Amino acid sequence: MEKTSATLNRILVPVDFSDCSLDALEYGALVAQRSQASITLLHVLESVSYGLDFTLPRVTKREQVRTELTGRLSKLASALASAGVPSEFAISGGLPADSLLDTARSQLVDLIIMGTHGRRGLSHTLFGSVAESVLRRSSCPVLTVRSPKFRPGHRRVLSSQLIPASH
């Protein structure tokens, strides 16, 4: 039987700037380097972040948040470029799982690599799991990363100086 290998050209990595999403990005950068794939970084602004309040202070605040996120994502994209990984980034609004899946479909990604908080019990029941929803509904493979284990002496692809600090 002849073996066929999957080709990775486009990888989607959702980033919410939590430690687990940045760990997933580090893992994604390694996968992208080895497969010569590009990465699309995606940050999803949930509904509460872009609500229906169109008063000037609210609109101004929303634009400030978008500008800050654009800067942070741009720094991550630059760090990836320095590591030889082509990348782009996007900010979308809506429910995280839906936005992720829409982006994956529209950009024809070959793999989604995402961090998982590993919630259990009541927390999982109340908040659900974006990763679980994406896993169940994705038409492409999904790799979830929880506290990745790198080999001893691993030199990070994305150095800690280049990764924006979390709030």
List the domain boundaries for the chain.
10-145
**Taking Cα atoms as reference points, which of 167, 112, 114 lies closest to residue 139?**
112
pLDDT for position 158:
76
pLDDT for position 57:
66
pLDDT for position 167:
40
pTM score: 0.82
For 10-145, CATH gives 3.40.50.620
33/86 Cα distance (integer angstroms): 9
pLDDT for position 146:
81
Which one-letter DSSP state was computed for residue 153? T
85/80 Cα distance (integer angstroms): 5
pLDDT for position 62:
82
Mean pLDDT of successive 10-residue stretches along the chain, which has 167 residues: 77 92 93 96 76 62 90 95 96 93 96 82 59 93 84 75 47
What residue spans of 19-138 are helical by DSSP H? 19-35, 47-50, 56-82, 96-106, 121-127, 130-137
